[in-house]
Amino acid sequence: MAEARSTAVRVADITDGASNTLAAGERPPSPDMWVGWWYAGYGVDFSGTADTVLGVRERASPDYPQMPDCGPGSTSFRPGALTSWCDVMHYWSTHPGGGNFLFADGAVRFLPYSAAEVMPALAAREAAGPPE
Protein backbone atom coordinates (compact mmCIF):
# COMPACT_ATOMS: atom_id res chain seq x y z
CA MET A 1 0.00 0.00 0.00
CA ALA A 2 1.33 3.46 -0.88
CA GLU A 3 2.47 5.65 1.97
CA ALA A 4 0.46 8.83 2.53
CA ARG A 5 2.34 12.05 1.93
CA SER A 6 1.60 15.69 2.39
CA THR A 7 0.52 17.42 -0.79
CA ALA A 8 -0.59 20.74 0.69
CA VAL A 9 -0.15 23.53 -1.84
CA ARG A 10 -0.92 27.17 -1.20
CA VAL A 11 -2.00 29.44 -4.05
CA ALA A 12 1.24 31.35 -3.40
CA ASP A 13 3.13 28.14 -4.29
CA ILE A 14 1.74 28.25 -7.83
CA THR A 15 4.36 30.39 -9.53
CA ASP A 16 2.87 30.45 -13.02
CA GLY A 17 -0.53 31.62 -11.81
CA ALA A 18 -3.58 29.87 -10.43
CA SER A 19 -5.50 30.61 -13.64
CA ASN A 20 -2.95 28.50 -15.56
CA THR A 21 -2.87 25.51 -13.19
CA LEU A 22 -5.22 22.51 -13.22
CA ALA A 23 -6.70 21.43 -9.90
CA ALA A 24 -9.21 18.73 -10.95
CA GLY A 25 -10.65 17.23 -14.09
CA GLU A 26 -13.59 15.30 -15.41
CA ARG A 27 -13.57 11.52 -15.75
CA PRO A 28 -16.59 9.21 -15.75
CA PRO A 29 -16.58 6.16 -13.44
CA SER A 30 -15.45 2.66 -14.35
CA PRO A 31 -17.79 0.25 -16.16
CA ASP A 32 -18.80 -1.32 -12.83
CA MET A 33 -19.31 2.14 -11.28
CA TRP A 34 -16.70 1.36 -8.58
CA VAL A 35 -13.61 3.37 -9.57
CA GLY A 36 -13.73 7.05 -10.38
CA TRP A 37 -16.05 8.67 -7.88
CA TRP A 38 -14.37 11.54 -6.07
CA TYR A 39 -15.21 10.19 -2.61
CA ALA A 40 -14.27 6.54 -3.16
CA GLY A 41 -10.53 6.73 -2.44
CA TYR A 42 -9.99 3.11 -3.52
CA GLY A 43 -7.90 3.32 -6.69
CA VAL A 44 -6.63 0.74 -9.13
CA ASP A 45 -3.76 -0.31 -6.86
CA PHE A 46 -5.83 -0.12 -3.65
CA SER A 47 -3.93 2.99 -2.47
CA GLY A 48 -6.37 5.66 -3.62
CA THR A 49 -4.29 6.64 -6.64
CA ALA A 50 -6.22 7.17 -9.87
CA ASP A 51 -9.39 7.43 -7.86
CA THR A 52 -8.94 10.57 -5.82
CA VAL A 53 -5.72 11.67 -7.50
CA LEU A 54 -5.39 11.13 -11.24
CA GLY A 55 -2.38 12.47 -13.10
CA VAL A 56 -2.49 13.89 -16.60
CA ARG A 57 -0.12 11.08 -17.67
CA GLU A 58 -1.26 8.17 -15.50
CA ARG A 59 0.07 4.61 -15.79
CA ALA A 60 -2.37 1.80 -16.48
CA SER A 61 -1.95 -1.06 -14.03
CA PRO A 62 -1.59 -4.45 -15.76
CA ASP A 63 -1.94 -6.03 -12.30
CA TYR A 64 -5.55 -4.89 -12.00
CA PRO A 65 -7.76 -7.76 -13.24
CA GLN A 66 -9.99 -5.57 -15.41
CA MET A 67 -7.02 -3.95 -17.22
CA PRO A 68 -4.92 -6.79 -18.65
CA ASP A 69 -4.74 -5.26 -22.14
CA CYS A 70 -4.21 -1.61 -21.24
CA GLY A 71 -0.44 -1.85 -21.17
CA PRO A 72 1.99 -0.22 -18.76
CA GLY A 73 2.38 3.04 -20.71
CA SER A 74 1.04 6.47 -19.95
CA THR A 75 -2.37 7.62 -21.00
CA SER A 76 -3.49 11.11 -21.81
CA PHE A 77 -6.59 13.27 -22.14
CA ARG A 78 -8.53 11.73 -25.02
CA PRO A 79 -12.00 10.38 -25.80
CA GLY A 80 -13.12 7.37 -23.79
CA ALA A 81 -15.97 4.90 -23.45
CA LEU A 82 -18.14 4.06 -20.47
CA THR A 83 -17.54 0.35 -21.20
CA SER A 84 -13.71 0.53 -21.27
CA TRP A 85 -11.64 -0.27 -18.19
CA CYS A 86 -8.58 1.30 -19.81
CA ASP A 87 -10.39 4.65 -19.92
CA VAL A 88 -10.46 4.75 -16.12
CA MET A 89 -6.78 5.75 -16.32
CA HIS A 90 -7.18 9.11 -18.06
CA TYR A 91 -9.31 12.23 -18.07
CA TRP A 92 -12.19 12.27 -20.51
CA SER A 93 -15.89 13.08 -20.54
CA THR A 94 -19.12 12.17 -22.25
CA HIS A 95 -19.23 15.70 -23.72
CA PRO A 96 -18.26 15.84 -27.39
CA GLY A 97 -14.76 17.15 -28.04
CA GLY A 98 -13.31 17.46 -24.53
CA GLY A 99 -14.02 17.84 -20.83
CA ASN A 100 -14.37 20.28 -17.95
CA PHE A 101 -11.46 21.14 -15.68
CA LEU A 102 -11.24 23.11 -12.45
CA PHE A 103 -8.32 25.52 -12.32
CA ALA A 104 -6.58 26.57 -9.12
CA ASP A 105 -8.19 30.02 -9.29
CA GLY A 106 -11.66 28.41 -9.02
CA ALA A 107 -12.60 28.79 -12.69
CA VAL A 108 -14.04 25.84 -14.59
CA ARG A 109 -13.17 25.69 -18.26
CA PHE A 110 -13.93 23.24 -21.04
CA LEU A 111 -10.70 21.97 -22.64
CA PRO A 112 -10.68 20.27 -26.04
CA TYR A 113 -8.90 16.93 -26.43
CA SER A 114 -6.28 18.76 -28.50
CA ALA A 115 -5.04 20.25 -25.18
CA ALA A 116 -3.56 16.86 -24.21
CA GLU A 117 -0.06 17.94 -25.22
CA VAL A 118 -0.02 20.90 -22.80
CA MET A 119 -1.69 19.10 -19.88
CA PRO A 120 1.60 18.28 -18.07
CA ALA A 121 2.51 21.99 -18.08
CA LEU A 122 -0.98 22.97 -16.89
CA ALA A 123 -0.75 20.42 -14.07
CA ALA A 124 2.59 21.77 -12.80
CA ARG A 125 2.45 24.44 -10.10
CA GLU A 126 5.73 26.01 -11.16
CA ALA A 127 6.35 27.90 -14.36
CA ALA A 128 7.74 25.76 -17.13
CA GLY A 129 9.62 28.70 -18.64
CA PRO A 130 9.66 29.89 -22.22
CA PRO A 131 10.21 27.34 -24.98
CA GLU A 132 13.80 27.17 -26.22
pLDDT in tens, 47-93: 555 555 677 877 666 556 666 667 655 578 999 999 988 888 889 99
Q: Is the pTM of this model over 0.85?
A: no
Question: Phi and psi (nearest 5°) for 120?
Answer: -60, -40
- Domain membership flag for residue 7: no
- Domain membership flag for residue 22: no
- Domain membership flag for residue 111: yes
Is the pLDDT at 125 greater than 60? The verdict is: yes
CA-to-CA distance for 46 and 59, rounded, in angstroms? 14
- How much is the pLDDT for 32? 83
Q: What is the mean pLDDT of the chain?
A: 75
- How much is the pLDDT for 132? 41
| Beta strands, E only, 12-94 | 22-25
Which range of residues forms the domain containing residue 111? Answer: 27-124
| Structural domains in the chain (count) | 1
- Domain membership flag for residue 131: no
